[in-house]
């Protein structure tokens, strides 16, 4: 499973399990939210690590930029599109 598959699986589970949803949402209040989120994922048996999450977001964003206007300087600047943690939290909020 890749990072996107893990996040999709967790999203579906969290939307059907209120306790899991609240547990994952609670990571927002931690000193290091991404680290806390990844630790929770690992505790649940999903091998996701901080750098995996960050790299997946950056790769997705770079791919999106390349697909618009040739990916050059005229490509639109997108905000927050590379932050899979925040996108995930928003999707279960």
Cβ–Cβ under 8 Å, residues 28 and 89: yes
- Taken in order 37, 43, 47, 50, the sign of the CA dihedral is positive
Q: Please give the Cα distance from 44 to 38 (Å, whole number).
A: 10
Mean pLDDT for all residues in the chain: 82
Mean pLDDT of 8-14: 95
List pLDDT tens digits, range 57-88. Answer: 666 666 665 565 555 555 555 554 567 788 88
The pTM for the full model equals 0.74
Q: Which residue has better confidence, 35 or 73?
A: 35
Q: What is the pLDDT of residue 73?
A: 54
Q: Please give the Cα distance from 35 to 25 (Å, whole number).
A: 13
């Amino acid at each position: 499973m890749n990072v996107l598959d893990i996040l999709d699986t967790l999203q579906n589970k969290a939307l059907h399990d209120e306790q899991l949803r609240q547990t994952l949402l609670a990571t927002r209040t931690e000193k290091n939210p991404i680290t806390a989120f990844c630790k929770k994922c690992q505790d649940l048996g999903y091998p996701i690590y901080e750098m995996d999450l960050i790299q997946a977001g950056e790769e997705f964003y770079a791919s999106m930029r390349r697909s618009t206007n040739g990916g050059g300087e005229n490509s639109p600047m997108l905000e927050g599109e590379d932050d899979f943690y925040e996108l995930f939290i928003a999707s279960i909020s």
